[in-house]
């Protein structure tokens, strides 16, 4: 059996086979999938391949929604974390 470059552990494919799966479970599976990708894998390209492969056939499946959200550009953080974020209102030393 050959390994799928876009879904190496077949987590996404298996999610589409589970009946009654809700969006929170799909998000958890998506996180596991993202962590299972190697550093050499382009996550956006893998997501595009998975959307093309699964979402057209199952447009109403909650995993299709999660995959499409993953393709959307993330929002820019509102503030920096750490001590710089906490010192924003304080004068710089």
Say yes or no to pLDDT of 78 above 80.
no
Count, in order, helices (H) and strands (E) of the chain: 5, 0
Query: How far is 74 from 65, CA to CA, in rounded Å?
Result: 15
What is the tens place of the pLDDT at every residue in 16-66? Answer: 999 999 999 999 999 999 999 988 899 999 999 999 999 989 999 999 999
Mean per-residue pLDDT, 59-88: 78
Query: How far is 8 from 37, CA to CA, in rounded Å?
Result: 7
Stated pTM of the model: 0.74
Q: CA end-to-end span of the chain, whole Å?
A: 61
Tokens in use for 41?
């894998």
């Amino acid at each position: 059996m050959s390994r799928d470059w876009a879904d190496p552990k077949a987590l996404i494919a298996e999610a589409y086979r589970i009946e009654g799966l809700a969006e929170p479970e799909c998000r958890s599976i998506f996180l596991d999938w993202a962590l299972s990708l190697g550093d050499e894998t382009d996550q956006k390209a893998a997501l595009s391949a998975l959307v093309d492969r699964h979402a057209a056939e199952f447009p109403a499946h909650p995993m299709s929604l999660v995959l499409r959200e993953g393709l959307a550009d993330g929002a820019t953080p509102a503030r920096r974390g750490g001590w710089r974020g906490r010192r924003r209102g304080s004068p710089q030393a």
